[in-house]
Amino acid sequence: MTAIENKRIVLHIFAELANDNPRPLLDAMADDFRFVIIGSTKWSGAYEGKKVVLDELFAPLMVAIDGRLNNAAFRFIADDDVVVVEARGNNRTKAGRDYNNAYCNVLRLEGGKLKEWTEYSDTQLIADALGDPTMWRAAAAPAR
């Protein structure tokens, strides 16, 4: 895939996320998708595999956020298999904390699929606003 094709895929994903439609993102994730949050917070680290990303990162995040996740992407730069996306969030947690972060996302694609996403953001804000992810993971876990 060319840089232009990869950028088109990522533009579509972010446009649909802005419309509260995660389906293009979910469909674009490779099974071995890797999501990395930089820093040393309890949310930081590498989430390995699509299922792990969905269960241990995305599900708890969606439980923690009050309403739908609101992030606006405004700059896309593509080079070969990498697309860099600058975005800003405007969110509030269910605990009543503002979570308005700024992001630089570095996405790597392979064959039209997302292989890796590295998020650079204010990790102290993540820790302050979202707290301990284990609390949210417990709330996001399906009943057994």
Give the amino acid at 113: K
DSSP 53: I
> Where in the sequence is the domain holding 21, given as residue range(s)?
3-133
CB 31 within 8 A of CB 113: no
Structural domain includes residue 138: no
Measured distance CA(12)–CA(6) in Å, rounded:
10
Q: What is the pLDDT of residues 2-58, one digit of tens each?
A: 999 999 999 999 999 999 999 999 999 999 999 999 999 999 999 999 999 999 999
CB 60 within 8 A of CB 37: no
Q: What's the domain count of the chain?
A: 1
Structural domain includes residue 54: yes
Structural domain includes residue 56: yes
Identify any residues that bridge with 36 across adjacent strands, giving them in sequence order: 46, 118
Residue 142's pLDDT is what? Answer: 61
Task: Report which secondary-structure segment, H or E, holds 118.
Answer: strand 113-121
| CATH number of the domain encompassing residue 42 | 3.10.450.50
Structural domain includes residue 14: yes
Structural domain includes residue 140: no
Q: What is the pLDDT of residues 113-141, one digit of tens each?
A: 999 999 999 999 999 999 988 888 877 76
CB 113 within 8 A of CB 29: yes
Structural domain includes residue 141: no
Residue 138's pLDDT is what? Answer: 78
pTM over 0.85: yes
Structural domain includes residue 26: yes
| Vertex 114 angle, CA 109 and 115, to 5° | 80
Structural domain includes residue 144: no
